[in-house]
Amino acid sequence: MQNVYDILTERGFLKQCSHPEELRELLGREKVTFYIGFDPTADSLHIGHYVALMTMAHMQRAGHKPIVLLGGGTAMIGDPSGKSDMRRMMTNEEIDHNAACFQKQMARLLDFSEGKAIVVNNAEWLRSLNFLEFMRDIGVLFSVNRMLTAECYKQRMERGLTFFELSYMLMQSYDFLVLNQKYGCILQMGGDDQWSNILNGADLIRRKEQKPAFALTTALLTTSEGKKMGKTEKGALWLDPNKCSVYDFYQYWRNIDDADVENCLSLLTFLPMADIRAMCEEGGAALNAAKRTLAFTLTEQVHGTEEALKAQQAAEALFGGGGDLSHMPTVVLSAADIESTGLRVTDLLVLGNLSKSKSDARRLIESGAVLLDDEKVADVYAAIPAEKLESGAILKKGKKGFVRILKG
């Protein structure tokens, strides 16, 4: 079996590693317990988390044991990495609810049966932590001067950094120590923006326990230009279909730039690298087919085969003249909706989440970006004829925004 370290390297996951040669040799020789932490600051994972989940899945398939650490404790502080302002403080109830949502979504990709993976919540030890004992045993091993050189803190120094947030690195490092002591965990993995936090955890174990411990970071999901992926006009690309429709999720991947297809297939699917390279090297029609493969495969992994097929059929109905329109995003108008909107296109663009406001909708119409059943809408006061609602009228915004309007 190929060493998982080489698999992660070949597929573009690997960014930084504290002891690369030692870790590679260890992963090829024995089963390793490792962990990745997820702070449940929302009630759904988003696509930014998915690279971490894929990393865990590759490791698990190679025989290693993942620990999913849900940050029921650290989420009360909030990681300052990449944040210009302090996060909103959350209640225990909010955090616990979000953690339960995370675990359910993770089960689509990770095997939690028969102890093959462990789910732990750091609230178990952090919420009851004795501050004085913690500072005496752990805080004494951290240099504030060194901590402030970390990128996650340097970005916040000009606008202000609270001691509350400064302690996040200590908490995350302590998590690694606890998992090492309780479960024999020797490897922490995470996104490359977490390098300072992860490295300090490994250093803490090596200093306090005199044992090997390793830090490894993976690539963030970015475009070829270095911009973070996973944002749509409607918001983040959530894994919960109630927060981001399956159709919108599918269409996002169907419409990514050509330059990003190979990287996304490598990081977000399990397709063999030889197949991925073959699809992407040819360009043209082959690259367009690769986008369809990416969209369907990733949607299937996240939402299941049935939902992926529905999204694919809806896309084909819109772009290829075939398929089932019933699976595309749909707004069903009540009698009250019809009365309040007067079936005005501007109102329906807002109702269908194709526009943020009526003024924005008017600008879209004036720029020629709005179509009603493939005919350009030129009048900002235009309304949809009521008879069109029986079979469904399709509003389009540009090339990527669609909604079907039906009478309830």
Catalytic residues: 41, 46, 49, 83, 87, 172, 193, 228, 231-232
The rounded distance, in Å, linking the Cα atoms of 91 and 41 is 10
The rounded distance, in Å, linking the Cα atoms of 408 and 405 is 10
Q: Please spell the DSSP secondary structure of 356-406, one letter per residue.
A: SSHHHHHHHHHTT-EEETTEE---TT-B--GGGGTT-EEEEETTTEEEEEE
Tokens 């540009």 found at: 398
Q: How would you label 249-286 residue by residue, b for 16+ Cβ within 10 Å and e otherwise?
A: bbbbbbebeeebbbbbbbbbbeeeeeebeebbeeeeee
Strand-strand pairing, 118-121 and 65-70: parallel
The total number of residues written for the chain in this structure: 408
Beta carbons of 73 and 126 less than 8 angstroms apart: yes
Neighbours of 151 (CB within 10 A): 11
Please calculate the CA angle 135-73-98 and round it to the nearest 5 degrees.
170
Beta carbons of 230 and 221 less than 8 angstroms apart: yes
The rounded distance, in Å, linking the Cα atoms of 197 and 79 is 10
The residues, ordered by sequence, that sit 6+ positions from 401 with a Cβ below 8 Å of its Cβ are 233, 354
CA atoms within 13 A on the CB side of 50: 25
> Residue 90 has what DSSP assignment?
-
Q: Is 114 exposed, middle or buried (0-12, 13-18, 19+ CB in 10 A)?
A: exposed
> Residue 77 has what DSSP assignment?
T
